[in-house]
Amino acid sequence: MPALPPPAPPAAPAGDQRLVDRFGRVATDLRISLIDKCNLRCTYCMPADGLAWLPKERLLTAAEIRRLVRIGVQDLGVRELRLTGGEPLVRHDLADIIAAVRGDHPDLPISMTTNGVGLAEKARALADAGLSRINVSLDTLHAESFERLARRNFLGRVMAGIDAASAAGLTPLKINAVLMRGINDAEAPELLAWSLLHGYELRFIEQMPLDADHGWRRDNMVTAEDTRELLRGEYDLTVDPGDRDGAPAERYRVASKREPGVVLGTVGIIASVTEPFCADCRRTRITAEGRVMSCLFSREETDLTALLRSGATDREVADRWRAAMWAKPRAHGMGHTGLGADDFVQPDRSMSAIGG
């Protein structure tokens, strides 16, 4: 944490209070981590044991989250909200938070990224509360690989969660898969076949250096090109001509090699390491304890909770948030892209504690 608040951005033109940074980017996509706690321990994210959870009183309350979203949307130009974690389903007041935000913003797209454990029991209530759509993380269709990757034996619960979310209309439903060399990379075509069959949009995510164990190695990760190569055995891929619109995922149209030209659906690849998209980044993040992280790899965090709890006005909160975003680094938490470069420093926190 910096000792002082970050430098203030220049005075905005009247009426323009957006979250701009020094490189001309405008953050419109708000990601809030609801809780740092998780019921899985994916090897690329959390350690096998340990990692103390934040005490409850340090988490943003439902009312604070509602207020931050209101300030973001009404004053700072936020246009979409993503709820994440840790595992957002672990938060007991999740449906209440969604309902409160939905009540304030009838047209705001509200999505959630989840590991799917417990989703079967909650999907309908979340949809009724006003959740728009959902992304579920699923790296493998095999129980043994699931247990190796997540260190828990919950594949059946995740599958049931995906079914329930689909039935509840939380669509388009996207599946996030991190490929790990020698564990689930050979499964890439099978995961795609399964997703196409069910009408889910699969995205393969390059593993980033955000694991608590600091075990990431650039020369051992499965790259976007490796992934395309794995898929090319079974499918033809062509870049989707649609506007990417700041999305991390590059989308590809998928055709079967057996019936060339017949488009079966799409697949996305999120190549944060080898084909970074920082130049068009539109993200602003708030951690579960209410700190703004202007970049996933920021080493500076700006606390809003103390302001919220000290009677600050909306304007004061918005100004602090804008100042944090003004200081956003160019890319990958530094002045250039290069995860794994000599001058890259991995954040102390794991992905689960930042909010993926």
Contacting positions for ligand SAM (CB under 6 A): 38, 44-45, 84-85, 87, 113-115, 137, 176, 178, 205, 207-208, 210-211, 351-352, 356
Q: What is the DSSP string of 263-279?
A: EEEEEEEE-TTTS--GG
Q: Which does 249 bind (CB under 5 to 8 A by kind): ligand SF4, ligand SAM, ligand GTP, none?
A: ligand GTP
* Number of C-beta neighbours around residue 162 at 10 A: 22
* Number of C-beta neighbours around residue 352 at 10 A: 28
Q: Which does 267 bind (CB under 5 to 8 A by kind): ligand SAM, ligand GTP, ligand SF4, none?
A: none
Annotated binding site for GTP: 31, 82, 113, 174, 283-285
Does 135 sit near ligand GTP (CB under 6 A)?
A: yes
Using the Cα atoms of residue 269, residue 275, residue 280 and residue 282 in order, give the sign of their dihedral.
positive
Q: What is the DSSP string of 111-142?
A: EEEE--TTHHHHHHHHHHHT--EEEEE---S-
In this structure, what are the phi and psi dihedrals at residue 157, rounded to the nearest 5 degrees?
A: -70, -35
Site for ligand GTP in 152-191 (CB under 6 A): 174, 176
Task: Choose among 81, 249, 89: nearest CA to 158.
Answer: 89
Does 33 sit near ligand GTP (CB under 6 A)?
A: no
* Number of C-beta neighbours around residue 23 at 10 A: 12
CB of 177 to ligand SAM, least distance (A): 8
In this structure, what are the phi and psi dihedrals at residue 164, rounded to the nearest 5 degrees?
A: -65, -40
In this structure, what are the phi and psi dihedrals at residue 232, rounded to the nearest 5 degrees?
A: -65, -20
Does 45 sit near ligand SF4 (CB under 6 A)?
A: yes
Cα 176 from Cα 136, distance rounded (Å):
6
Does 205 sit near ligand SF4 (CB under 6 A)?
A: no
Annotated binding site for [4Fe-4S] cluster: 38, 42, 45, 278, 281, 295
CB of 113 to ligand SAM, least distance (A): 4
* Number of C-beta neighbours around residue 12 at 10 A: 12
Site string for ligand GTP, 192-211 (x = CB under 6 A): -------------x------
Does 95 sit near ligand GTP (CB under 6 A)?
A: no
Residue sitting closest to ligand SAM (CB) = 356
Which stretches of the chain bind ligand GTP, using CB under 6 A?
82, 84, 111, 113, 135, 174, 176, 205, 247-249, 270, 272, 281, 283, 296, 356
